A and B are shown apart, each in its own frame.
Chain A
Amino acid sequence: MLRKFTTVGMYGLAVLWLFPLLWAVWTSFRPRELATSWSLSADFTLDNFAKVWDSAPFDQYYINTFLIVTGILVAQIITATLAAYAFAKLQFWGKDVLFVLFLVQLMVPADILIFPNYNVLRDLSLLDTKIGIMLPYFASAFGVFLLRQTFKTIPHELEEAARMEGCSWFQILWRVYVPLAKPTYIAFGLVSVSYHWNNFMWPLIITNSVENRPLTVGLAIFAQSFETGAQWAEVSAATVMVIFPLLLAFLVFQRQFINSFIHSGVK
């Protein structure tokens, strides 16, 4: 009895959880006059999307977000691979201290240092640039720990064998470690991309022009340009447009996506 009750409750919860998304999608296809009413009619339109596309430079925002997310990911993978190898396989002076320094970044993430980092960017004259949005995230302690974990499990004999064959250290890293850590790279890549795709506060503060604004900031500006409630259909359409790419990617790669998240936090 109780079991049945919880089962129904948990399925109900799933429906409740889906509701906001379904509602936003529904509203985004409704004609403007009907957006706020709950009538069930067969009136659907693409006008809202067309209007959004015309009235704000969302194409530019897409490109910006794409460039920012890609730039951060590439830089993070390079810096994290090098650092992770050092932490996983080498004994050197100051290792423990450096490890703690990296730990601190996990505890005090760049997200809360918005004001201090604004000053740093101002001093570097990098305000309102895409590179400015990216720079604070180029080093990722999270990525370093994740890769270090994986590199540690790779037996030393493989490296020895490669060295015997005359591989340089770079070749060893590139031919032995990187391919064997592929699942971790995928996991980290997904986490990093979804994180930076969603990032808002930091780009909001330092960007100031259409050329550099990412989707999230563009969406916020678009939504705030209306009086509350007046343009639900259009704001919903814009919201759906911003959500859509990541959500689609998630639905297609659902299994991998969830497994990668599982991978990323706990080993």
Chain B
Amino acid sequence: MGELRAKWKVNMYAWLLLLPSLIFLLLFTFYPVIQTFILSFHQADLGSPEPFFNGIDNYKQMVEDEVFWKVLTNNIWFAIGTVPTSVALALGMALFANKALRGKSFIRTAYFYPTVVPMIAVANIWLFIYTPEYGALSHVMEWFGKGDMNWLGDQKNVMWAMIFMVIWKEAGYFMIFYLAGLQNISQELYESASMEGASSWTVFRRITFPLLMPTTMFVSIIAFTNSFKLVDHLVIMTKGGPDNASNLLLYYIYETAFSFWDQGMASALTIVMVVLLLLVAAFQFFAMDKKIHYN
């Protein structure tokens, strides 16, 4: 009897400790997602003062919406452009910063500092870099005798311009995780490899890279999620243009909800986003040993 009471007490106590977090979690993650799921089956725009049920009309409309497919493809290209390059670059930076003989802390600082610069500030600076005629890039291209390019105003260039900027912003952040990963590799492995006369490429291929695999997985997932979260710069630089060439899913949700005031459609789009991110989470869950990071 006393044991049961003690158990009940611990339960009570644990739930009370979790309650504050749980309230905010429910109120700002679970409740809104459910609410949005319901709203996504309703017509709720400026033309309908009271939302009414319209089945899967929003989703049907979405599938037929060219802009939706455009932003989704853009986002996938944005991910393909940013994730592998910034992760590979981060690994290179970490290997170098770990070994650099001179100016170690200068190197680390130079690579890392974009992480602490707000995306909005980044956008302001890079807008000036990309501006035709007066921008930094135009000056540099002039030196090399190349013609001027309109980086942000041209549909073919704008995505590349964004991708390069985001790689600049993120690579140093990912470097930190690799630096941490490198600390965990035992020095003995390297010593015995050098005793056997292995080349540095072999050492990298056989020891460093495989042992950093968990870090690579972890960082890739962050990079992928970021490619769906990062849209601040669009507000300053392009507003998704020209002709949606740089538009991304989250920015399209923002436009749909707060410029077009189509709440039903914004809900449907949000649900697509949530499902997408949960799929990635599921992939992460199965693809990697979850003990690595959560236990």
With an 8 Å Cβ cutoff, the count of chain B residues facing the other chain is: 93
Interface residues in chain A, defined as those with a beta carbon under 8 Å from any beta carbon in chain B? 6-7, 10-11, 13-15, 17-21, 23-24, 27, 36, 38, 78-80, 82-83, 85-87, 90-95, 98, 101-120, 135-136, 138-139, 141, 144-145, 169, 194, 197-198, 200-201, 204-205, 215-216, 219-220, 223-224, 228-229, 232, 235-236, 238-239, 242-243, 246-247, 250-251, 254-255, 257-258, 261-263, 265-267
Residues of chain B within 8 A of A238, CB atoms compared: 124
Choose the segment among B60-68, B154-162, B188-196, B269-277 that binds chain A (4+ C-beta atoms closer than 8 Å): B269-277
- The answer to whether B21 touches A109 (Cβ under 8 A) is no
- The answer to whether A102 touches B25 (Cβ under 8 A) is yes
Interface status of B59 (Cβ within 8 A of chain A) = no
Residues of chain A within 8 A of B258, CB atoms compared: 115, 118, 205
- The answer to whether A219 touches B124 (Cβ under 8 A) is yes
Bound Cα distance from A242 to B257, whole angstroms: 28
Q: What secondary structure prevails in chain B residues at the interface with A?
A: helix
Interface status of B232 (Cβ within 8 A of chain A) = yes
Bound Cα distance from A107 to B222, whole angstroms: 10
CB distance from B169 to the nearest CB of A (A): 10
Bound Cα distance from A82 to B127, whole angstroms: 44
Q: Can you name the residue of chain B whose Cβ is closest to the Cβ of A248?
A: B116
- The answer to whether A266 touches B177 (Cβ under 8 A) is yes
Q: Can you name the residue of chain B whose Cβ is closest to the Cβ of A3?
A: B200
Q: Can you name the residue of chain A whose Cβ is closest to the Cβ of B293?
A: A266
Residues of chain A within 8 A of B39, CB atoms compared: 119
Residues of chain B within 8 A of A198, CB atoms compared: 116-120
Bound Cα distance from A95 to B18, whole angstroms: 10
- The answer to whether A119 touches B116 (Cβ under 8 A) is no
Interface status of B70 (Cβ within 8 A of chain A) = no
CB distance from B236 to the nearest CB of A (A): 6
Residues of chain B within 8 A of A90, CB atoms compared: 10, 13-14, 17
